[in-house]
Structure 1
Amino acid sequence: MKQFFITATDTDAGKTFVSCALIHAFTQRNNTSIKPALKVAAFKPIAAGCELVDGQLINEDAKLLSEFANCAQSIAHINPIAFKQPIAPHIAAKKLNQHITVADINFHYQQVKSLNADITVVEGAGGWRLPLGPVTIESTVTGIDNKKTTYQFLSDFVKTTNLEVILIVNMKLGCLNHALLTYETIKADGLECIAWIANCASSDSMDNLSENITELEQLLPIPKIAQFDFIADVDEEGNDVSFSEKINIAANKIILSVLI
């Protein structure tokens, strides 16, 4: 079984789009009469900006992931920690007198792992150092009770589970610095960042895009497994292009041999 954590250089960098494309690429890879299709599970542990539907908080990104994963997961199974306000999750939790901990996330992740999928794609939130909030650690030394408050981050969960990391680089001004800092931090955390994806999905193309991608190919010591370009909602013939069609186009660009 393989487990991948999808992170990015910043928020709104296309993590859900890439995760869906990756899942679709895996599920279609062996979908022939000769080899059975791969079982692919999805996990998006934390989401904010959810809609209340029939008493359940539904995150649109988690809903999209459920449409491409093929392990018959519920939305709650994919996204167990959800908040209505579209703000930093740990702030949303604080407003509700709740806490997000690595232990909580890992508990839900073990339920996903119990599906025994061939591939599990875990989509992060925000960037690499997404805060989960403070936790109090109690210990007793020489008969004296001690309490220490420390901060936990979503990256601590990745460290605990030792997931392989795929980095999405949001191709815009500043991406070289953001990509290198994120990669170096992942490595400093003792984890393997195994590949990166250039996401050029903005309708406003980055100036000198090809030069920046070439720079990253030289600076990042890991393979680039895809470059996703902007796909308009309407093609040149005036036909609507659905989200599923966009995902299929992107999935066909991924070099899966690097990951398997």
Structure 2
Amino acid sequence: MKKIFVTGTDTDAGKTWISAALLHRFSEAGQRCIGLKPVAAGCEKNESGDLRNSDALLLQNYMSESLPYEQVNPVAFEEPVAPHLAAQRAGRHVTLQRLIGLCRGVELKRPDLLLIEGAGGWRVPLNEQEMLSGLAVELQAEVILVVGLKLGCISHALLTAEAIIRDGLKLAGWVANQASEVEMDLLQENIATLTALIPAPCLGVVPHTATIDEAALKLEVDALIP
């Protein structure tokens, strides 16, 4: 089983879009794929009053295997704020051990790919002592970094890559994602700088207008597919 944890340089870098494209690409290659969004803040209530997150629903739509929503996104908060703050305001306490147990339960289904999408960037607190990045460490997942192309992304990307490697994980690659409608100045020069400085291969450059299908085709991930 291949385990991939998708993180981003920050919120709105495009983690979900790239995660869905990865699931689509692996599924098209005949792989059994499951995508999880263990923690999601910024959910809306459906007609039954249950909290649902649009990112988790997108992953659920593109994974090849069928899972109930509660397994795809077991920890859901209505407020679109940092997860540890959302938990505090909801009177809940989220622990790394609980998330690990939930992911281990899904592992029993033995998919070819277990993709886990983080929340925000790499160092997102779960509580006063634990970070969500600890989930990737515990699962020993390979990491794909989604770089939202905007001013400041070079520093964010390099610091994130350093932290991932310092945590003892393999940075399998990174994706340059044009998450904003406004193209950043000197786009190609910035991508060239990122390519030279990030110690992992660039898996693709995804334009803002790309559909999930188009984004999947732009990802060079054949080496990651078993």
| 1:101-140 alignment runs, 5 A limit | 101-134=95-128
Give the Å deviation of 1:258.
2.8
1:253 lines up with 2:218 in the alignment? yes
- What is the aligned partner in structure 2 of residue 21 from structure 1? 21
- What is the aligned partner in structure 2 of residue 11 from structure 1? 11
What is the distance in 2 between the residues matched to 1:164 and 1:99?
27
1:38 lines up with 2:31 in the alignment? yes
What is the distance in 2 between the residues matched to 1:78 and 1:114?
14
CA contact (8 A) 1:43 1:112 kept: no
What is the distance in 1 between the residues matched to 2:40 and 2:179?
22
- What is the aligned partner in structure 1 of residue 44 from structure 2? 51
The answer for unaligned runs of 5 or more in structure 2 is none
1:180 lines up with 2:158 in the alignment? yes
Give the Å deviation of 1:190.
1.0
Give the Å deviation of 1:52.
1.5
Give the Å deviation of 1:97.
2.0
What is the distance in 1 between the residues matched to 2:179 and 2:166?
29
2:134 aligned counterpart, secondary structure? helix
2:168 aligned counterpart, secondary structure? coil
Structure with bigger gyration radius? 1
Of 59, 69, 81, 2:63 maps to 69
TM-score between the two structures when normalised by the length of structure 1: 0.84
2:40 aligned counterpart, secondary structure? strand
- What is the aligned partner in structure 2 of residue 231 from structure 1? 209
Higher RCO, 1 vs 2 (CA within 8 Å, ≥6 residues apart): 2
Identity of aligned residues (%): 43
| 1:91-240 alignment runs, 5 A limit | 91-134=85-128, 151-231=129-209
What is the distance in 1 between the residues matched to 2:83 and 2:184?
30
CA contact (8 A) 1:201 1:231 kept: no
What is the distance in 2 between the residues matched to 1:88 and 1:205?
27
What is the distance in 2 between the residues matched to 1:71 and 1:89?
27
What is the distance in 1 between the residues matched to 2:135 and 2:179?
28
Opposite residue 126 of structure 1, the aligned amino acid is G
CA contact (8 A) 1:225 1:258 kept: no
The answer for unaligned runs of 5 or more in structure 1 is 30-36, 135-150, 233-245
User: Deviation above 2 Å: which 4+ runs of structure 1?
Assistant: none
CA contact (8 A) 2:12 2:179 kept: no
What is the distance in 2 between the residues matched to 1:190 and 1:257?
24
Aligned length in residues: 224
Q: 1:187-225: per-residue Cα shift (whole Å, max 9, x none)?
A: 111111110000013210010000000011111121101
